Amino acid sequence: MFKTWLETNEKEILYRDCESQDIAQVVALANASLKSKQEPHYFERLCNGRNPFIVATWQGKVVGYAAARLQFKDKQQFSNFTTMAVSPEMRGRGIGRALTAKLIERSEKIGTAYMRGDVRDGNDHARALYGKLGFKEEPYGTFKDGEGKFRIRKDFSNQPQDWSM
């Protein structure tokens, strides 16, 4: 299905906002990558033109996505980083980092106070990636299946550094 990475390069990866016709590919990618079953309506609701939702495409195919939901807490708008995946064949090439960086940029530009999300204890790759992009993490209970959960958070400029999430 894919050319090998040696036959392509990162300049061929395009990043753009999610469109409704991407959803089927995004759902397939999510289900191939994440532990819990992912439903189309979840992504359809996220992809509404207001939430930060970026897809990475290669030769017209979606090879990665990252999405956040805009929410309010204590009168502050924040960006809830809910989901991200990169196609297994395309991992380790900087796509996850680029998607996360673009989501951060978008969330900050919208004016949110901070970006937050949850990550599994055993997801070393994602945790390393978030750490490199400036997210702080702290233990935050467990997921339904009992695996430890970390809450990650990145505060944006000129916002109170309040950790009561």
Ligand X SMILES: CC(C)(COP(=O)(O)OP(=O)(O)OC[C@H]1O[C@@H](n2cnc3c(N)ncnc32)[C@H](O)[C@@H]1OP(=O)(O)O)[C@@H](O)C(=O)NCCC(=O)NCCS
Positions touching ligand X (CB under 6 A) are 33-34, 84-86, 91-97, 119, 123, 125-126, 128-129, 132
Report in angstroms how near the CB of residue 84 gets to ligand X at its nearest. Answer: 5
Tokens linked to 165? 């999430």
Report in angstroms how near the CB of residue 56 gets to ligand X at its nearest. Answer: 9
Q: What sign results for the dihedral spanned by CA atoms 127, 130, 135, 140?
A: negative
Nearer to ligand X, 65 or 112 (CB): 65
Tokens linked to 132? 């490199």
Nearer to ligand X, 14 or 160 (CB): 14
Report in angstroms how near the CB of residue 129 gets to ligand X at its nearest. Answer: 3
Contacts of 75 (CB under 8 A, 6+ apart): none
Nearer to ligand X, 69 or 97 (CB): 97
Q: Are 59 and 42 in contact (CB under 8 A)?
A: no
| Residues counted in the chain | 165
Report in angstroms how near the CB of residue 43 gets to ligand X at its nearest. Answer: 14
